Amino acid sequence: MRTATWIIALTGLAALVSHPAPAQQGVSTLTIGRLHYDGGGDWYANPSSLPNLLSEIRTRTLLRVRDREQVVALTSPDLWDVPFLYMTGHGNVLFSDEEVLILRKYLENGGFLHADDNYGMDESFRREIARVFPDRPLVEVPLDHPIYRIVYELPQGIPKIHEHDGEPAQGFGIFLGDRLAVFYSYQTDLGDGWEDADVHGDPADVRELALQMGVNLFVYSVLAGR
């Protein structure tokens, strides 16, 4: 499908999930998979972030999602039940050779990975994702991509939540054809913006931008992976 046509179709589908509706009985629910990885990094960081994001997705869209995320490893059969895989942390990430092959297969079959640098995993994530896709480098996602407007308009791109090194927030990605399969949030710390308000003391408007970006990411992952 040509890129422009694909974007129009995806945006149209987004309209179907952009307004809240009563919960429907008997409808299967989606959730976010929190990636349990090896290497020593704290994959479990920001414990309140994903439950809060799921709550906002449930409130702000028609998508039926669970109350909590599901912890998955790349070798777990449960991986294939989640459309959106999230990973974060402050330290090292290390995939086995088997996990590299599984992650590539998961992404090539419609899965979506959001890697959220919690300040400290940048070097190891870039190294490991290059093992998964040695033929597809991370590139900056253009501001006109649906990820920044599928539900909420974010014309400036990914919001800046925390200071880190004082550099601008950036959203990098890996594309498989027209589909964005990997999104890497860098120099921002979106997950901190999803946490309970008293954890970091972020202003309400900053937390709102973080949640809007999170909703966009999840909705995109569900619709683009169809």
The whole-number pLDDT of residue 76 equals 96
- Whether 26 has a pLDDT exceeding 70, the answer reads no
Residues 124-153: tens digit of each pLDDT: 999 999 999 999 999 999 999 999 999 999
Question: What integer best gives the mean pLDDT of the chain?
Answer: 89
Give the full edge-to-edge strand order of the sheet including 112-117. Answer: 70-72, 32-35, 84-89, 112-117, 179-186, 170-176, 139-140
Give percent of the chain with pLDDT exceeding 70. Answer: 87
Per residue in 49-62, pLDDT (tens digit) is 999 999 999 999 99
What domains lie within the chain, and their CATH numbers? 3-20+29-224 (3.40.50.12140)
Q: Phi, psi at residue 172, to the nearest 5°?
A: -105, 160
pLDDT of residue 226: 65
User: How far is the C-alpha of 168 from the C-alpha of 158, rounded, in Å?
Assistant: 9
Distance separating alpha carbons of residues 68 and 58, to the nearest angstrom? 11
Query: Can you tell me the mean pLDDT for 191-202?
Result: 89
Confidence of residue 21 (pLDDT cuts 50, 70, 90): very low
Tell me the average pLDDT across 165-186. 95
Backbone angles phi, psi at 154, to 5 degrees: -125, 75
